[in-house]
Amino acid sequence: NAGVTQTPKFQVLKTGQSMTLQCAQDMNHEYMSWYRQDPGMGLRLIHYSVGAGITDQGEVPNGYNVSRSTTEDFPLRLLSAAPSQTSVYFCASSPQGHGYTFGSGTRLTVV
């Protein structure tokens, strides 16, 4: 039981590049979500999903896309990376919206 696995742990992108942050959980949790964490700010919700095939926008969705084709996976796509997207990204999952388990994070730098 690995919990929530995020890859990669570190990434450097050039402005305008695209990439996908991977998130996988093996706990059969219905709820999954993506957050970004910036210095001096609390975690902010980017996108979330309450089940396979269902996604919705969070607080700061612009510049990001998600999909949820399976219960286990919830990838986050950066369409055209910008320096403002430099941040630490956390994926989290929960059985029914309670007791969220967080991944270890992806530290992204956009230059």
Partner 1 sequence: KNQVEQSPQSLIILEGKNCTLQCNYTVSPFSNLRWYKQDTGRGPVSLTIMTFSENTKSNGRYTATLDADTKQSSLHITASQLSDSASYICVVISYGNNRLAFGKGNQVVVIP
Q: How far is the CB of 15 from partner 1 (least distance, A)?
A: 25
Stretch that binds partner 1, among 15-23, 61-69, 70-78, 96-104 (CB under 8 A): 96-104
Whether the CB-CB separation of 76 and 58 falls below 8 Å is answered with no
Whether the CB-CB separation of 103 and 91 falls below 8 Å is answered with yes
Q: How far is the CB of 111 from partner 1 (least distance, A)?
A: 21
Q: Is the dihedral of CA 72, 22, 55, 44 positive or negative?
A: positive
Q: Give the interface with partner 1 as residue ranges (CB under 8 A).
A: 4, 31, 33, 40-45, 90, 92, 94, 96-105
